[in-house]
Amino acid sequence: MTRATLVLPERGEKYEFKVGHLEPADHWRGAAQRLRSLGLYGAEPSTPDDGFQRAQRRFRALRGLEVTGALDEPTITALQEAHGC
C-alpha cells in the first residue's frame, strides 16, 4: 500500500492518505473496503463478520434498497456509485 500526503500550507493543514488496491466490488472484501472508505465499517476486512453484515444493511437502508444481507447487483452498483469505483 502506498501513502500520500496532502499539504495545504496556506491553511496549516496536512492530511495523510493510504492509496492502494481495491478488491472487485462484487467480492465481499471489495464491498467491505468500500463500506470502510464510506465510514460505515470500521474493521479491517479479513472475514465477512457480523459488523460487515450490519454495515451492508445500513448502506442499503441509506440508499433506499431492500435491507437484506445479500451482496446483490443493486448493492454492488450502489457501492460503486457511492465510492466512485
Give residue-wise pLDDT tens across range 36-83: 999 999 887 677 888 999 999 999 999 999 998 889 999 999 999 999
Instruction: Give me the helices (H) in the chain, please.
Output: 28-37, 50-62, 73-83
> CB neighbours (10 Å) of residue 75?
22
Which residue carries 444493511 as its cell? 57
pLDDT, position 11: 92
Question: What cell was used for 44?
Answer: 479491517
Region 12-41: mean pLDDT is 89
Report d(CA 80, CA 85) in Å as an integer: 5
Give helix then strand counts, H and E, for the chain.
3, 2
pLDDT, position 45: 66
> How many residues would you count in the chain?
85
